[in-house]
Amino acid sequence: LSFASGAGKTTLLNMLTLERGKGKALGTITLNGQPLTPALYAEHCAVVTQQDLLWTFLTCRDHLRNAINLYRPSLTHTEREAAIDDLLAATGLTSCQHTKAGN
């Protein structure tokens, strides 16, 4: 999201990520026709912040490999690599998967 200061970006993200912000939330947020719950959010959503939280000496693929090793340890090596390939394709990063994050 890229809008002017005070346009409601933080409020919108707080609502979409189910974070408690100031004030009272009214209305319903749905995803694929279902009310957004923490479980549904965890299964289908992610937020990428603008702060650089990546190590500059690792590639995009290395970062995804580290994350999948931490969050999906039950997957086999082959399943992990396939999941990484899927993530790279879904985010349009396949062409730069071997580029270090600092470049």
**Is 65 inside a domain boundary?**
yes
- Sign, CA torsion 35/13/66/87: positive
Average pLDDT, the chain: 87
Tell me the pLDDT tens digit for each residue of 30-60: 989 999 888 988 888 877 776 667 888 999 9
Q: Work out whether strand 34-35 and strand 30-31 pair parallel, antiparallel, or are unpaired.
A: antiparallel
**Is 55 inside a domain boundary?**
no
Residue-wise burial string across 9-47, b where 16 or more C-beta atoms lie within 10 A, e elsewhere: eeeeebbeeeeeeeeeeeeeeeeeeeebeeebbeeeeee
**Is 1 inside a domain boundary?**
no
Report the number of distinct structural domains present in the chain.
2
Low-confidence winner among 10-24, 70-84, 85-99 (lowest mean pLDDT): 10-24
What is the pLDDT at residue 71? 92
CB 92 within 8 A of CB 69: no
Please give the residue that has the higher pLDDT: either 28 or 1: 28
**Is 21 inside a domain boundary?**
yes
Helix (H) or strand (E) holding 35, with range, is strand 34-35
In which domain, by residue range, is 26 found?
Answer: 9-44
100 has which bridge partners? Answer: 59
